[in-house]
Amino acid sequence: MSGDLTNVYKPQPLSTGLSSYALISSLQDTRFSPITLSELPSLEVAVTLLTDFEPAKDALDWIIGVHGIRISFYARNKRYGACYLPDVAVEQGWDREETLVSLMRKAGWSGRREKWSEVGDLKVVRFQGAAESVGWEEYRAWREWVKRGEDKGK
């Protein structure tokens, strides 16, 4: 993601943090192409509020389906880092080691899979998250309901 993620892992007021990060992730995430009009009916938006950050005792000290992980490490004199939300390993059917290696690849590491534990200064922070999602039709219905309420108030 290309936006400024400096504050993503720091406590933020929900009212400002959610709106600012929604804009960053929707407008500055270069991993995804812009949404087309024809895609709107099939869209679903999900938000995961991240909570309970704590250092893991070791690289595998986290529970699939409960924790997301953020990693940082050194390899070839370069610092790497990446993050997966709690649902990623479950959705992909990965175990903890597969998840960790995939996350290291996401960070840009190109080492041999079996050498993952040999990188320098591997730190893992585990966290939990509460996810909510809404589809396009549900959003449209809600937006119409809000609009009707605004029209009644005039």
Q: What is the pLDDT of residues 77-93, one digit of tens each?
A: 899 999 999 999 999 99
Residues 6+ apart with CB under 8 A from 36: none
Q: How far apart are CA 53 and CA 128, in angstroms?
A: 7
What global pTM score does this model have?
Answer: 0.75
Q: What is the pLDDT of residues 103-124, one digit of tens each?
A: 999 999 999 999 998 898 999 9
Mean pLDDT over the full length of the chain = 87
Torsion of CA 144, 148, 149, 154, to 10 degrees: 140
Amino acid at 130: A
> For the chain, percent helix, then strand, then coil, each to nearest 5?
40, 30, 35
Residues 6+ apart with CB under 8 A from 13: none
Domains and CATH numbers, the chain: 48-149 (3.30.1490.150)
Taking Cα atoms as reference points, which of 9, 95, 101 lies closest to residue 52? 9
Per-residue tokens: 75: 């390899």
Asked if residues 148 and 140 have their Cβ atoms less than 8 Å apart, the reply is no
Q: What is the pLDDT of residues 25-55, one digit of tens each?
A: 777 778 778 878 888 888 888 888 889 999 9
Residue 1 pLDDT > 70? no
The DSSP element (H or E) to which 67 belongs, if any, is: none
